[in-house]
Structure 1
Amino acid sequence: MIKLFASDLDGTLLHNGTNLNDRDIDSIQAIISEGMEFAVATGRMDRDILVVAKSIGSVAHRVSQNGAIVNDKTNQEISTSFFPIELSIKLHHAMEAIGQMYTVTTSDEVYVTKEFEIMKEMEEFLYFPIKIHGKLLEGYNDETIHVVKFSIVAPPEEVVGIRDTLVADFADVAEIYISDSRCVDIVPKGISKAYGLAQLMQGLNVRKEEVAVIGDSFNDVPMFQMTPHSYAMAGAKDAVKAHASCVVTSVSEAIEDLKAKGLI
């Protein structure tokens, strides 16, 4: 039986930025009322999950920043992972060299070094504004800025090339994921949504076969691979769907499938 259901946000539970589907909300509320644990696993920040959970009308376990930060539904911090200072500086310079908009994320803020033309468009799909911080390098050195994630925002046709370049240079010290058609995320080595869920599962005493997950992008693949009950959204790329056990059009459809299989 499934004891924990974990959902991605963008392109899965959230549509066009911040929109939730009423049927998905009803399905999540139903499984929570029946005693199942619910988690959100996302590349977004923890504070974004809190907003979504409030919209759903319930609390949620929270795996944010692609697994770098994990909090349970009681707000107990389970794990947090940061880049070391020297690596933060190297990655920062690598972001600058690519020449596209990049963001620097801490546990509670998203920063850019200057205003980018695409920022306003991005903020339409965010719950919180992006902050401009012109002295991030100084912040790394004096340890007032602890980086959890770097992200590059680029035209879709350039994303794979950027990912490949970063993998060639940093694969031994960081995890590099395509998290969206226009975004590449860089998080500390060993960090993934699967890692974050594993930290959560340990505290809940839940086994992998008692977990169901759903997502739509490459950063969801690690959690697809950790359980036999994985769902990819129909709009996902074929290379993503190939790692999931089922393909669905919504979170509610995944939950209905679990019910049909007698797993809920």
Structure 2
Amino acid sequence: MIRLFVSDLDNTLFNDEKTVSPENKEALRALVDEGVQVCLASGRMDKELVNVMNELNGTFHRISQNGAFIYNTSNQCLLSSHFDGDTARELFQMAEPYQLAGFISQEDSMFVPRKNEMVKQIEAQMRMPIEEHAEVLDCLGTSIHASKLCYIGDMDEIRKLERAVKERFPGKVDSFISDRHCIDFMPPGISKGAGLKKLIDHLGIKEEEVACIGDSYNDISMLRLTPHSFAMAVADDAVKQEATHVASSVAEAVRWVLAYNKQAVTK
């Protein structure tokens, strides 16, 4: 019996307009009606997950910023993680030669030192609230605690930056390709999979009682966690290979889960 359904947001639960389609809304309602708990798992900020939850009139578990923050349906914080100020500052500064748009996130805020045209376009396209803060680097480790550093731009430059970061911070920084032309740098040991494992241990359920769906490389750790994993049809082949199933939508995956549970009850 599947007791928990976990969904990524961008390019998974969200459509191209960064909204939830009526079909996917109805699918999540059907899960809840059948007693299946729902968790949103995303690289986005927790407040963005809360907005989605409220839009769907649901009460869901939440794994935000690739596992840096975890909340259960009672809004109890199960994990809160961030970089130390010096590491976050050096990470941001060493990316400057790579001509990428860089963002510094804490739990419910995303900062840039200056909003140039590239940043403004990304803000509009991704529908992410981004704050301009000229002194953000000076505030790291004091009034601002960076849980994630994100860079968007040319993939060749992203790969060069990733190699440089791994060389400079061996074992101290994890990285994930979280969307098209986007890389996230995280504190070590932080991932969606680790966050999901912490949540299911808290809930007292087994890995085989979980189903999850995602589309990108930052979803792989949670796809590997359960035998009931779905990669979106739009995902890269490398991501699909890590999942048990491929689905064209969250609604399709939900239909499979409901049928699986119905069969389990009749056995």
- TM-score by length of structure 1 reads 0.94
**Structure 2: runs of 5 or more not aligned:** none
- Residue by residue over 1:8-56, the C-alpha shift from the partner in whole angstroms, topping out at 9 and shown as x without a partner, is 0000000124221111111111111221110000000100111111222
- Counterparts of 2:259 and 2:180 in 1: how far apart (Å)? 33
- Counterparts of 2:16 and 2:161 in 1: how far apart (Å)? 24
Which residue in the other structure is 2:57 paired with?
57
**2:42–2:65 Cα contact (<8 Å) kept:** yes
**1:17–1:124 Cα contact (<8 Å) kept:** no
- Counterparts of 2:158 and 2:259 in 1: how far apart (Å)? 38
- Asked if 1:208 is matched to 2:198, the reply is no
Secondary structure in structure 1 of the residue aligned to 2:175: strand
Q: 1:201 deviation in Å?
A: 1.1
Secondary structure in structure 1 of the residue aligned to 2:178: strand
Q: 1:128 deviation in Å?
A: 4.7
- Counterparts of 1:160 and 1:256 in 2: how far apart (Å)? 37
**Which stretch shows the higher mean deviation, 153-162 or 45-54?**
153-162
Secondary structure in structure 1 of the residue aligned to 2:222: helix
Which residue in the other structure is 2:147 paired with?
148
- Counterparts of 1:172 and 1:248 in 2: how far apart (Å)? 34
CA RMSD of superposed structures (Å)? 1.6
Which residue in the other structure is 1:68 paired with?
68
Secondary structure in structure 1 of the residue aligned to 2:95: helix
* Pairs within 5 Å for 1:57-136: 57-136=57-136
Q: 1:198 deviation in Å?
A: 1.5
Q: How many equivalent residue pairs?
A: 263
CA gap of 1:126–1:181, structure 2 versus 1, over 3 A, is: closer
Q: 1:78 deviation in Å?
A: 0.9
Letter in 2 for 1:135: E
* Pairs within 5 Å for 1:154-233: 154-233=153-232
**2:3–2:210 Cα contact (<8 Å) kept:** yes
- Asked if 1:255 is matched to 2:254, the reply is yes
- Counterparts of 2:264 and 2:81 in 1: how far apart (Å)? 33
* Identical aligned residues as a percent: 34
Query: Higher helix fraction: Structure 1 or Structure 2?
Result: 2
**1:16–1:125 Cα contact (<8 Å) kept:** no
**1:179–1:219 Cα contact (<8 Å) kept:** yes
**2:91–2:165 Cα contact (<8 Å) kept:** no
- Counterparts of 1:32 and 1:160 in 2: how far apart (Å)? 40
**Structure 1: runs of 5 or more not aligned:** none
**2:31–2:258 Cα contact (<8 Å) kept:** no
- Counterparts of 1:248 and 1:162 in 2: how far apart (Å)? 32
- Counterparts of 2:74 and 2:28 in 1: how far apart (Å)? 18
**2:150–2:185 Cα contact (<8 Å) kept:** yes
**2:111–2:132 Cα contact (<8 Å) kept:** yes
**2:99–2:153 Cα contact (<8 Å) kept:** no
Q: 1:129 deviation in Å?
A: 2.5
Deviating above 4 A after TM superposition, structure 1's stretches of 4 or more consecutive aligned residues are none
* Pairs within 5 Å for 1:8-27: 8-27=8-27
CA gap of 1:125–1:204, structure 2 versus 1, over 3 A, is: farther
CA gap of 1:20–1:26, structure 2 versus 1, over 3 A, is: same
Letter in 1 for 2:54: K
Secondary structure in structure 2 of the residue aligned to 1:11: helix
CA gap of 1:171–1:40, structure 2 versus 1, over 3 A, is: farther
